Chain A
């Protein structure tokens, strides 16, 4: 097996052996069953009209996905922070790198393994959610596959950033910094939306810049766009200015230049990670 795939396989195996996969499964069951119960109650309550249900369910799906995207991002940050620094600190990585293997194979193999885990986790939870919401309320978001892909992309962006940080900083510092930057990016996105809605140029620009510097919030907005029914978007655009600043709504699909930038961003960050690990003294 190719050394890169060996490391990816080892990463997945570690996740299984260390019960990360079991933890993911438990969280998934908990999230999906609780939300299924909630959606069922919401759709079958006699105190809620069908019109109100039609309004509430899509928003509840967005809120669920927001919470889940947060879980994916935090999980990505936690596993990536330990990937390089943690193994250098413990001495495990030195025994691997002393073998005839490129350091780039180690980094990319770990990235691939962790990204694969996140992809499986995200696909399963989102798939189950869409299924259970459909069963409970008969509602299916406009493009659940695209929304799932963007939630996953958000997690992979944070995973890649924390992996880069982990090649330079301690595991703890990399994890904490990654989560903090994720939070700041989200807040900057909210500020940007407010700036756009109220015509405050500086805040709008800050929001746009932050979406390029760390594309997590930009990708979250893309995911949201594919979760929103078209009437919901029209209502947002026609509503008062304050409504357009709602951080749980997106009125535009992601553009190709932006998506291209996200790919470039991922490649650049991985490349910096490779350079760092290449230079790092073990």
Chain B
């Protein structure tokens, strides 16, 4: 990131971080859905989705294309009605008009009035949010800086690339210090720099106490910013939890150890399942946080540790495993 961008970012972080998040029903989950079901004629888009997203959490909503992610978002915003089930958002029924003042939304299909400038689009949303007019300049300038469009505020949206339009959409979602920000595939049109910026913005939102609902099929994205995720497949939630919980298996580690007799590892009791692989030793099924203890035990026996390689199942592996199971 250029120094100018860094300065903009720092300023933007200050903007995002300063005011307290408005909260209409403190204590209630940011999102609470019970048995949400949506059927479009012969197609079931969502099948009994139940989930709870805590306040201040960055929640990943993962799933392959067509798994029902965007349908769920539309139900949460009241853009579509559930066939059955119910959802509460910020303590009010999904779609509640006043609650929408506290929700920032970046749609998957981000399209804005091409005949307005970026600044005018943001001002329009300030107006729709019924923000005090005195706040508009700060809100608009802040949003433009945050999403890296500070120099393009007066350009017509119709002249923007898709990536710039997505940045503008993100800026629109940040207006009015929302308590909940729903981002539907927020990086689909962005380059690597843009993706990095989005991750920073999400972290800044979390730092100021906002809840972020991140709808994505990019597992790397979720892995880097989400506190918890739900994996959706064919309209059903197939797993929910922290990343560590979802990865499922207990920690395993591969170590390259020298300076000990050939069968030394057989006497290493209390450290999971051990398998020798030449100079390498694979230790599986460890307790959480037991790796340093294992290393210390080997060193105390006179072993020299050349390498320690954690053997975690990636989210992607677990994701594919779950999809295969369904």
Contacts and interface: CB of A to CB of B under 8 A. Distances in A.
Nearest to B101: A100
A98 B101 contact: no
A97 B127 CA distance: 13
A52 interface: no
Contacts of A281: 40, 74, 79-81
B116 interface: yes
A234 interface: no
Contacts of B115: 14, 17-18
A17 B117 CA distance: 11
Contact of A98 (B77, B81, B98, B127): B77
A3 B79 contact: no
Contact of A95 (B40, B98, B107, B129): B107
A193 B127 CA distance: 51
Interface in B19-58: 40
B160 interface: no
A12 to B, nearest CB: 12
Q: Give the most central of A1, A17, A18: most B CB within 10 Å.
A: A17
Contact of B111 (A14, A18, A91, A102): A91
A213 interface: no
A17 B120 CA distance: 12
A91 B107 contact: yes
A90 B172 CA distance: 17
Q: Size class of A's contact patch? A: 20 to 34
A94 B101 CA distance: 15
Given A90-B111, A92-B111, A94-B107, A99 B128 contact: yes
A92 B105 contact: no
Contacts of A34: none
Interface string B151-181: 0000000000000000001001000000000
Interface string A1-27: 101001000100110011000000000
B224 to A, nearest CB: 26
B111 A100 contact: no
A99 B103 CA distance: 8
Contact of B103 (A1, A92, A96, A98): A98
B109 A6 contact: no
Given A100-B98, A100-B100, 15 more contacts: A1-B127, A6-B124, A10-B113, A14-B115, A17-B116, A91-B107, A92-B112, A95-B107, A95-B110, A95-B125, A95-B169, A99-B100, A101-B97, A281-B40, A281-B74
16 contacts: A3-B128, A10-B124, A13-B116, A17-B116, A92-B113, A95-B112, A98-B105, A99-B128, A100-B97, A100-B99, A100-B129, A102-B97, A281-B40, A281-B74, A281-B79, A281-B80
Interface of A: 1, 3, 6, 10, 13-14, 17-18, 90-92, 94-102, 281-282
7 nearest interchain CB pairs? A91-B109, A91-B111, A17-B115, A99-B128, A282-B79, A281-B80, A100-B100
